[in-house]
Amino acid sequence: MAKIDFGTTHFEQGAEAREQRRKFGRVHYVGGFDLAREIREICGPLAVEIAELLAMPFVIAEQMPITMGGGPGPFPLLHPVDNLAKAVHELRRLTTEWLARRVDAGGRQRLAAVVSDPAHGRCPEVSEQDLRTGLWVGDLVGHVSPLSADLGAVMAAMPDPGPLGCTAADAAVADLLRPVDVEAGIVRQQIPGIRSRQLAAHRRRLMWERERADREAYDRKSELQRLGLG
């Protein structure tokens, strides 16, 4: 039987490995894997772009349904980022369970401390102010950081991936991160549209303000002429 060629599967942790993983390609991490770093690098660029959106002269808001008053609601990316936070929370839970079957007694003691931490049962909350400051990224990174060392050690202890191109741990990490990748992708896809809408709204407001200024100038000139002063 001919050997199956999966192409390049060996990557250092970083953007190339993430892109390969998002395309459902096989990834074997060379040089170690840090879960906290992965969450930081997934969420950090999104946080920068979101903070830039919220610093624009005009910021749009969702329209609340009539049953809830019908007024302006939260920033459109608040709910998607909240879903991303929920995916990271689930990542913590599932990674803890996966590691529990693969670490030694010392590792299980560390995992017991993770599980007993009140944060283990509580999803990180994200507010609109967090979106403005970008502090939500640190909260998500901190949520998974207690697992980083043990996960990295388990992955490093795996044998050579062989002809399949990745180890069982590599494949498991890809599966564990997939919901995070999906939710982050949803946030990423919405950013250009929101930026475009805010720019268009800002241009409309500038045009309205110029028209108002022209009308007021015309009215003042007309009044002066009526008084014989123009």
pLDDT band at 4, cuts 50/70/90?
very low
What residue segments make up the domains of the chain, in order of their start?
Answer: 10-188
pLDDT band at 73, cuts 50/70/90?
confident
3-state secondary structure of 12: strand
CB 142 within 8 A of CB 37: no
Q: How remote is the C-alpha of 27 from its chain's centroid? A: 21
Mean pLDDT of the region 168-172: 94
The tokens describing 191, both together, are: 């950013």
| CB-CB neighbours of 18 under 10 Å | 18
User: What is the number of residues in the chain?
Assistant: 230
| Integer CA distances (angstroms), 94 to 85, 99, 157, 215, in order | 14, 9, 20, 63
| CB-CB neighbours of 183 under 10 Å | 22
| CB-CB neighbours of 119 under 10 Å | 14
The reported pLDDT for the residue numbered 202 is 67
The tokens describing 123, both together, are: 């999803």
pLDDT band at 156, cuts 50/70/90?
very high
